[in-house]
Amino acid sequence: MRFGRTKYLGLAIGVASAFAPCPSANAAEAAKSATSATSGVKSVRSIEEVANEKGFLYYPGAPPAGRMRFSLGATYDAIDPAVMYGMSIRFPQLALDFQDSLGKGFLFKAHINTMLITNEALVGVGYNWHGAGPWSFGAAMNAGIFLGKLSGLGFDALTIAGEYRPELTLGYSLGDIALSLRGSVILMGPERARVGDLWGGFDNPNLFAGHSEILYVENTTRGNSVWYFGVGAMTTRAHYAFWLLFPDSPGLYTYPRVVAGYEY
Amino acid sequence: MNTKILAFALAIGSPFLLADCEEAMEVSIPGFPDGGLTRTGTALKREQLKTSFEGMFTVSKGNSLLGDQASVITKPGTVSVLTDKNAGFAVMNAACLPDQRVVVEGYWQYPTRSDAGLVRVFVDPPAVAQALCNGESPAPDTAFALVGTYGDDNDIPTKPLELRWSHELKEWRDRFFTVAHHGACEATDHCGVSPNTIESIRLAERIGSNAAELDVRVTRDRIPILFHDPMLSRSLVRGLFCNGMVNQLSFAELRGACMARYGEQIPTLDAGLDMMINETELEGVYLDEKTPEGVLPSARLVQAWDTVLKARNENDDPSDDRKFGMLIGIPNDDVLDAWNSAKKTLEAENEERVENGEAELPIPKCLLEYDVDKVIAEGCVAWGPTWTEGPQPENVQKLRDHGIGTIFWTINESDFIEGFLTTSKPDGIITARAATLFQLYQLIGSVPAPRGEQP
């Protein structure tokens, strides 16, 4: 698929990353000076420190039990008009994440993304392996609900489905920047829909609804917070991307996803 | 800084790495390697196909392919088997062989999957086959059967298939509209034809549609073409230099740079109407006007073709009579404004014709997709609501009381097709699953009153 304008969006995100709010400290500097006692000014924190103290949303860390992290972000899918019956309007989704360390690398996770008419809510558990070097690895299993509802604009429709999302993450630390490549499999079912008073199912229910591969970049700050952004590809059936159509074709479409947010 | 450069490179590189990830959707329609037995036979006549083959058949062998019942319909040169199982269909040719057997062979397909294969059946009993070979058109009865085999992909068919005639089809021609959604299939299907193309319309007729919904846009030089999206998306077109917005290319540029996804030409509306009127038995078309700019040129073409049809139907030669309805589809107020403006222009031109002693040309009819009251107020002959608001039986009946028909768009799921057929009993449904809709209409649908006889 040639993405046209979306390529430029990816390019813009990339360019923006070079100007992301992270100081010019390199990895060695960051590692040896978490704070400057003489000046009283905090330096940017290293990935290693954050991974072991509070953890990241994406880079697999192993914080002590009870350490929590929230994040607020946005997700934008540059969906091919053909998937959306030619509709060219795209809305970003609000993304909320929460994780609570259970200790020894285990995590409780919760995720919501919504654009009001489309909502996904997932909870899950994960395990992170974080060694002494820059590499780390995480695995998680999430389950939840996919819910779409719209009354108005030519719709009196609702769709509801179970959603299951196993995911693997490979992380690499660059000092004060973490790169994490996360691959997820999107499974959905059973799916039901309502139009007016009429309920029904789909002709071609297929548990496999798609997969995603996103590269995340997380920048530490002087505090415990983290900026993140990511770009990657979603490969999904059309009804995951745009449930309003309830299409029954099993064709998979690839489209870019751009995410950005702030971890508290 | 090196880390930033790496992050930067990865960030900008990933979209490029992901380019060309689109799943290949190309399909090949199975065919007999030697052209099949029909190559050696004599094709049956149109009237023979219509009289002798059409009906509801019980599937006594091959249920895993077709389910328990299947409809058989015919078109010029083809016999089609339609089922609601996976929206499956078989499109076949029929011919009398030199040994007085009648072979019906072609391919079957599940359009939402990549499953397809070959079918070869023979008319049974032999006496019926002999009658067909003698040029007769025997009416089918419960002894009539199609017996043979089917297979997968291009393999020579070996699995047993037997369809036995059960009863006549419920009235559907000129009654219930199985409307092909921008041709035969969705863009995500595996039909081997692209939406809004001549090839797609031809297939639509063979898989159960008796009308088509087509999308109209205009090029920069105001030529109405059949195309859905405002942009030339990779999902719909081919061509290295086929980019940008449809309305920013002249028709010559579009023709030179672009092909539809499966390699077909992007047709003009004129070519589409010509093909439907002269090469199919479709009963009508619903032109979904995607932009206000397309309304007047579309209306002029409809007017021109209406004039051609009128002349054909009023001459002394009944063999060229052709009943074909064309509706201008109005999806929003912008297009409605353009429609009212176009009507005024056409009416003014008619006044000039009358002043010059010429005959008036017919003003095209409209279908409005949204407000029920506007459908009545604008004098449209049909309402085309989206199915996503539900069956709305009260509105369907309200319009029926005004002599206005209802055609829902676009229902592809069996559960909902069944629900709409039984709840609101519309005059038609737009679908990309024509075989499913046709079969479900036959099984559970209500036959709408003849047009013109509705209250």
> How many inter-chain contacts (A to B, CB under 8 Å) are there?
190
Cα separations in angstroms, A111 against A57, A122, B66? 11, 5, 44
* Residues of A in Cβ contact (< 8 Å) with B290: 86
Spell out a b/e string for A131-163, using b for 16 or more CB atoms within 10 Å of the CB, else e: eeeeebebebebebebbbbbeeeebbbbbebeb
Query: Confidence band (pLDDT; 50, 70, 90) for A4?
Result: very low
Query: Confidence band (pLDDT; 50, 70, 90) for A5?
Result: very low
Considering only CA atoms, give the Rg of chain B.
24
Q: Does the distance separating the beta carbons of B21 and A254 come in below 8 Å?
A: yes
Q: What is the mean pLDDT of residues A153-168?
A: 91
Higher pLDDT pick, B208 / A36: B208
Query: Confidence band (pLDDT; 50, 70, 90) for A7?
Result: very low
- Reported as a single tens digit per residue, the pLDDT across A100-155 is 999 989 999 999 999 888 889 999 999 999 877 899 999 999 999 999 888 887 88
Specify the pairing of strand B325-330 against strand B284-289. parallel
Q: What is the mean pLDDT of residues A156-169?
A: 93
Q: Does the distance separating the beta carbons of B19 and A7 come in below 8 Å?
A: yes
* pLDDT score at A23: 38
- Reported as a single tens digit per residue, the pLDDT across B168-177 is 999 999 999 9
- Reported as a single tens digit per residue, the pLDDT across B158-167 is 999 999 999 9
* Residues of A in Cβ contact (< 8 Å) with B423: 198
Rounded to the nearest angstrom, the minimum Cα separation between B196 and chain A is: 13
Location of structure tokens 């149109």:
B46
Q: What is the enclosing helix (H) or strand (E) of B173?
A: none
Rounded to the nearest angstrom, the minimum Cα separation between B415 and chain A is: 5
Q: Does the pLDDT of residue B15 top 70, yes or no? A: no
Residues 115-174 of B with CB under 8 A from A: none
Q: Does the pLDDT of residue B415 top 80, yes or no? A: yes
Q: In chain B, which residue's Cα lies nearest the Cα of A233?
A: B18
Considering only CA atoms, give the Rg of chain A.
20
Rounded to the nearest angstrom, the minimum Cα separation between B335 and chain A is: 16
* Residues of A in Cβ contact (< 8 Å) with B23: 235, 251-254
Spell out a b/e string for A51-72, using b for 16 or more CB atoms within 10 Å of the CB, else e: beebbbbbbbbbbeeebebebe
Q: Does the distance separating the beta carbons of B1 and A254 come in below 8 Å?
A: no
Average pLDDT over chain A reads: 81
Of the listed ranges A139-153, B330-344, B355-369, the least confidently predicted one is A139-153
Higher pLDDT pick, B116 / A117: B116
Q: What is the mean pLDDT of residues A183-197?
A: 93
Q: Does the pLDDT of residue B17 top 50, yes or no? A: no
**Nearest-CA neighbor of B393 among B415, B429, B426, B418?**
B426
Q: Does the pLDDT of residue A64 top 50, yes or no? A: yes
Please, what sign has the CA dihedral across residues A38, A48, A260, B235?
A: positive
* pLDDT score at A154: 80
Q: Does the distance separating the beta carbons of A85 and B388 come in below 8 Å?
A: no
Q: Does the pLDDT of residue B398 top 70, yes or no? A: yes
Spell out a b/e string for B96-127, using b for 16 or more CB atoms within 10 Å of the CB, else e: bbeeebbbbbbbbbbbbebebbbbbbbbbeee
DSSP B62-103: -HHHH-SEEEEEEETTEEEEE-SGGG-EEEEEEEE-TTS-EE
Measured torsion, CA atoms of residues B272, B273, B278, B282, in degrees rounded to the nearest 10? 90
Stated pTM of the model = 0.83
Residues 277-296 of B with CB under 8 A from A: 290
Q: What is the mean pLDDT of residues B83-97?
A: 95
Q: What is the mean pLDDT of residues A206-211?
A: 90
Burial label, B253 (beta-carbon count in 10 A; 0-12, 13-18, 19+): middle
Of the listed ranges A5-9, A248-252, B380-384, the least confidently predicted one is A5-9
Which CATH number, 2.60.40, 3.40.1130, 2.40.160, 1.20.140, labels domain A5-263? 2.40.160
CA angle A244, B388, B383 (to 5 degrees): 140
Determine the Cα–Cα distance for residues B172 and B165; give it in Å rounded to an integer: 18
Q: Does the pLDDT of residue B8 top 80, yes or no? A: no
* pLDDT score at B192: 83
Q: Are B197 and B183 in contact, with CB atoms under 8 Å apart?
A: yes
* Residues of B in Cβ contact (< 8 Å) with A2: 19-20, 234
Q: What is the mean pLDDT of residues A229-240?
A: 89
Tokens for B199, please give them: 């090839």
Reported ipTM: the value is 0.80
Location of structure tokens 């309502």:
A194
Determine the Cα–Cα distance for residues B243 and A68; give it in Å rounded to an integer: 48
Residues 94-153 of A with CB under 8 A from B: none
Most confident of A18-27, A234-243, B16-25, B74-83: B74-83
Smallest Cβ–Cβ distance between B11 and the set A176, A217, A235 belongs to A217
Q: Are B280 and B250 in contact, with CB atoms under 8 Å apart?
A: no
Q: Does the distance separating the beta carbons of B6 and A196 come in below 8 Å?
A: no
- Cα B362 → chain centroid: 25
Q: Does the pLDDT of residue B11 top 80, yes or no? A: no
Residues 358-377 of B with CB under 8 A from A: 370
A207 touches chain B (CB under 8 A): no
* pLDDT score at A37: 40
* pLDDT score at B261: 87
**B383 SS3 class:** strand
Q: Does the pLDDT of residue A9 top 70, yes or no? A: no
Determine the Cα–Cα distance for residues B322 and A60; give it in Å rounded to an integer: 70
Q: Does the distance separating the beta carbons of B243 and A231 come in below 8 Å?
A: no
Q: Does the pLDDT of residue A10 top 60, yes or no? A: no
Tokens for B206, please give them: 């063979």
Q: Are A22 and A44 in contact, with CB atoms under 8 Å apart?
A: yes
Q: Are B162 and B127 in contact, with CB atoms under 8 Å apart?
A: no
Q: Please report, rounded to a whole number, the percentage of residues in chain B having pLDDT higher than 70.
A: 93
* Residues of A in Cβ contact (< 8 Å) with B189: 249, 251
B245 touches chain A (CB under 8 A): no
Determine the Cα–Cα distance for residues B99 and B445; give it in Å rounded to an integer: 41
B443 touches chain A (CB under 8 A): no
* pLDDT score at A2: 39
Q: What is the mean pLDDT of residues A188-217?
A: 91
* pLDDT score at B311: 93
Average pLDDT over chain B reads: 91
Alpha helices by DSSP H, listed for B168-260, are 198-206, 251-257
Q: Does the pLDDT of residue B216 top 90, yes or no? A: yes
Q: Does the pLDDT of residue B12 top 70, yes or no? A: no
Q: Does the pLDDT of residue B19 top 60, yes or no? A: no
B240 touches chain A (CB under 8 A): no
Q: Where are the beta strands (DSSP E) in B219-357?
A: 224-226, 237-238, 259-260, 284-289, 325-330
**B58 SS3 class:** strand
Query: Confidence band (pLDDT; 50, 70, 90) for A14?
Result: very low
* pLDDT score at A46: 86
Q: Are B182 and B200 in contact, with CB atoms under 8 Å apart?
A: yes
Q: In chain A, which residue's Cα lies nearest the Cα of B243?
A: A4
Q: Does the pLDDT of residue B410 top 70, yes or no? A: yes
Rounded to the nearest angstrom, the minimum Cα separation between B271 and chain A is: 23
Q: Does the pLDDT of residue A20 top 60, yes or no? A: no
* pLDDT score at B451: 64
Q: What is the mean pLDDT of residues B395-400?
A: 95
Q: Does the distance separating the beta carbons of A10 and B19 come in below 8 Å?
A: no
* pLDDT score at B14: 52
